[in-house]
Amino acid sequence: AVAVGAAEEDGVEMAAGLQDRLTFDSFVEGQGNAFALAIAKQVASWADGHFNPVFFCGPYGYGKTHLLNAIAWEAQRLRPDAKVVYLTAERFLSTFVKAMQDRSTAAFKESLRSADMLLLDDVQFVGGKTSTQEELLSTLTALIEDGKRIVFSADRAPMALTEVEPRLRSHLAAGLTCPVEAGDRELKIAVAQNRLKALSALGVVQGEANPEVLAQLVDRTPGSMRELEGAVNTLAAAAGSRLSAVSVDEASTLLGAALRGGPERRITVDEIQKTVADHFNMKQADLLSERRTRAVARPRQIAMYLCKQHTTRSYPDIGRRFGGRDHTTVLHGVRKIEELMPQDDQIARDVEALTRKLRG
């Protein structure tokens, strides 16, 4: 049996960077990640009829690494005799380069291709590295042919990985692409509560935080779940046994610079529509209209794509805000832009320019 987290086997570090606390028990479920969590549990259970490979994609810091870690731990628990390999893309790259330098690529290939389950995190980092991509494609093909399980994660969908070679992109997209979406306010509060509960079990804090303190922490901590957990850690370390007595004002003082950025600026559907309309010299009403000419339809699809990327709105909700369109129309639009971005330089430039404007 190969233990997940073993130091090294056949030249490849096994489960490099796997963290004890990143399990299914500690994963907080919400509207934006429920589907991803269900798929992850299915993969970890070695269930028949799964899609292969499974590709988790979404913004940085919203749980993809947590899911891959949880899959690895649970899969190994259920099948101790199975060989489960977890690697970051950087670790895959550095180990492959070292194997080439040491002329031990045969051992490297064998260590991966003998895996029963391979999990590769942040696969976008192999982009632009030709020989590494070729090796990953060969490994992927060999494992699929042998019926082995493969799980990937990246910050965007496979076909949006423009620096990845087209054949590899196609293989990455051939299974199930599973979005892990940005968390809404309710989920962020649950994550903060869950982190405090874990710290309480470790004896770092005592008592429960004032709900208003947690609400302020969530509303004024910009960015990802990782950054939110960092702010919770800061609060816990500063408050200790006085956690339940900490007021909103005192929490602001304790957290200091972590909250100085003020409330996170939320990008709205209306703002996206106005920005897209201005970029393409259109009226916002055109995006909501029934017009289907390409001059209107393509900007509308780009706007829908940006709404899915930069807001927590669901497909049905986005559809309602685009003239009452069905959620399948929105889904088609989003996927169309994901498909076109690697092929059409102008669309890729438009999306990049609009993203800069929205974040600006």
The pLDDT tens digits of the residues spanning 235-285 come to 888 878 888 888 888 787 777 655 545 445 678 899 999 999 999 999 999
User: What's the token pair of residue 354?
Assistant: 């609009």
- CATH number for the region 185-259 comes to 1.10.8
190 has pLDDT over 50: yes
User: What's the token pair of residue 271?
Assistant: 């703002």
111 has pLDDT over 80: yes
Contact at 8 Å (CB) between 140 and 167? no
Contact at 8 Å (CB) between 243 and 207? yes
Q: What angle do CA 137, 143, 146 make, to 5 degrees?
A: 140
Please give the C-alpha separations between residue 311 and each of 36, 161, 266, 314, in angstroms, as whole numbers. 18, 21, 8, 9
The confidence band for 223, taking pLDDT boundaries of 50, 70 and 90, is low
- Percent of the chain having pLDDT more than 70? 91
Please give the C-alpha separations between residue 57 and each of 65, 172, 173, 251, 256, in angstroms, as whole numbers. 10, 11, 11, 34, 33
pLDDT tens column, 124-151? 888 888 888 888 898 899 898 888 999 9
What pTM does this model have? 0.63
CATH superfamily, region 269-359: DnaA protein, C-terminal DNA-binding domain (1.10.1750.10)
Please give the C-alpha separations between residue 88 and each of 152, 265, 303, in angstroms, as whole numbers. 10, 31, 32
- CATH number for the region 34-179 comes to 3.40.50.300
Query: What is the mean predicted confidence (pLDDT) over 288-299?
Result: 91
pLDDT tens column, 312-323? 788 888 998 998
Helix, strand or coil, per DSSP, at residue 137: helix
355 has pLDDT over 90: no
Domain spans of the chain? 34-179, 185-259, 269-359
* Separation between Cα atoms, residue 134 and residue 140, nearest integer Å: 10
pLDDT tens column, 10-52? 443 345 457 888 999 989 888 788 899 999 999 999 987 668 9
Q: What angle do CA 324, 330, 334 make, to 5 degrees?
A: 155
